[in-house]
Copies of this chain bind each other. A is one copy, B any other.
Amino acid sequence: MADYPAFSVTADLVVLTVQDNEMRVLLVRRGIEPYRGQWALPGGFVLPDEDLDAAAARELREETGLTAPVGHLEQLASYGAPGRDPRGRVVTVAYLALLPHLPAPVAGSDAEGAAWTALPVAELAFDHARILADGVERARAKLEYSPLATAFCPPEFTISELREVYETVWGARLDPRNFHRKVTGTPGFIEPVGRSIAAERGRPAQLFRRGPARLLHPPMLRPTP
């Protein structure tokens, strides 16, 4: 293999969550050069004996403290333009994580801090703005034909909470009655827990958990403006 160009490979994360009707992304403030002091996506180098998915899961665990299989993690895309990293030839395999809102994140070893930042984000290190945009667009599209909106919710949630996820990610208002009919009528999307919970105001809502379906048939299409 010495004949072939040597690359470094990193696994970077687009970690999205929904809170207070805002979409937020987990960012770290870089503590080392290059781009020291700037905000960037969390991530790090893939270890010599580590699979790509394992590296992404490890980075997610290090940044959020997550151990249980909550939320959702999938590969997003890879980025390897020459010059995208001043240190040399670096290929980044980006992953998309969707999580319910969590307590304050933990700063990694080479970061000065970490924070949930509301979108849109002003400026990011490297080509991370592009990676973030790709992740957000992937999330928006996947809500249409997959039940992944539940990944933004805690294990038990109400239909209103689920609707707020859709409204926030899509940036559009949805009719509560039609939304209720749609999600309860799509087999395998959500399952009733059997209990109800009192909200701040109004009639208590039933609790649901995510169902076994991995695809929505038919899909829930974004409203056409």
CB distance from A134 to the nearest CB of B (A): 10
Interface segment among A84-92, A99-107, A148-156: the answer is A84-92
Q: List, in ascending order, chain B residues with CB within 8 A of A88's CB.
A: 1
Q: List, in ascending order, chain B residues with CB within 8 A of A179's CB.
A: none
Assess whether A75 is interfacial by the CB under 8 Å rule. Answer: yes
Q: Which of B6, B51, B221 has a CB less than 8 Å from the CB of A6?
A: B6
7 closest pairs, A vs B, by CB? Answer: A6-B6, A1-B88, A52-B80, A5-B48, A78-B78, A51-B81, A4-B8
- Known A-B contacts: A1-B87, A5-B46, A52-B91. Give 13 more (CB < 8 A): A1-B6, A1-B89, A4-B8, A5-B8, A5-B48, A6-B8, A46-B80, A75-B77, A78-B78, A78-B93, A145-B145, A217-B224, A218-B221
Contact call A7/B91, Cβ cutoff below 8 A: yes
Q: List, in ascending order, chain B residues with CB within 8 A of A48's CB.
A: 5, 82, 89
Please name the residue on chain B nearest to A9 by beta carbon.
B7
Q: List, in ascending order, chain B residues with CB within 8 A of A218's CB.
A: 221
CB distance from A225 to the nearest CB of B (A): 12
- Place the interface of chain A in its size category: 20 to 34
Count of chain copies: 2
Given contacts A1-B87, A91-B91, contact A82 B50 (CB under 8 A): yes
CB distance from A92 to the nearest CB of B (A): 10
Q: List, in ascending order, chain B residues with CB within 8 A of A50's CB.
A: 82
Q: List, in ascending order, chain B residues with CB within 8 A of A80's CB.
A: 9, 46, 51-52, 93
In the assembled complex, 14 residue pairs joining A and B whose CB atoms fall closer than 8 Å, in A order, are: A1-B8, A1-B87, A1-B89, A4-B8, A4-B45, A7-B7, A51-B81, A52-B79, A52-B80, A52-B91, A217-B221, A217-B224, A218-B221, A219-B219
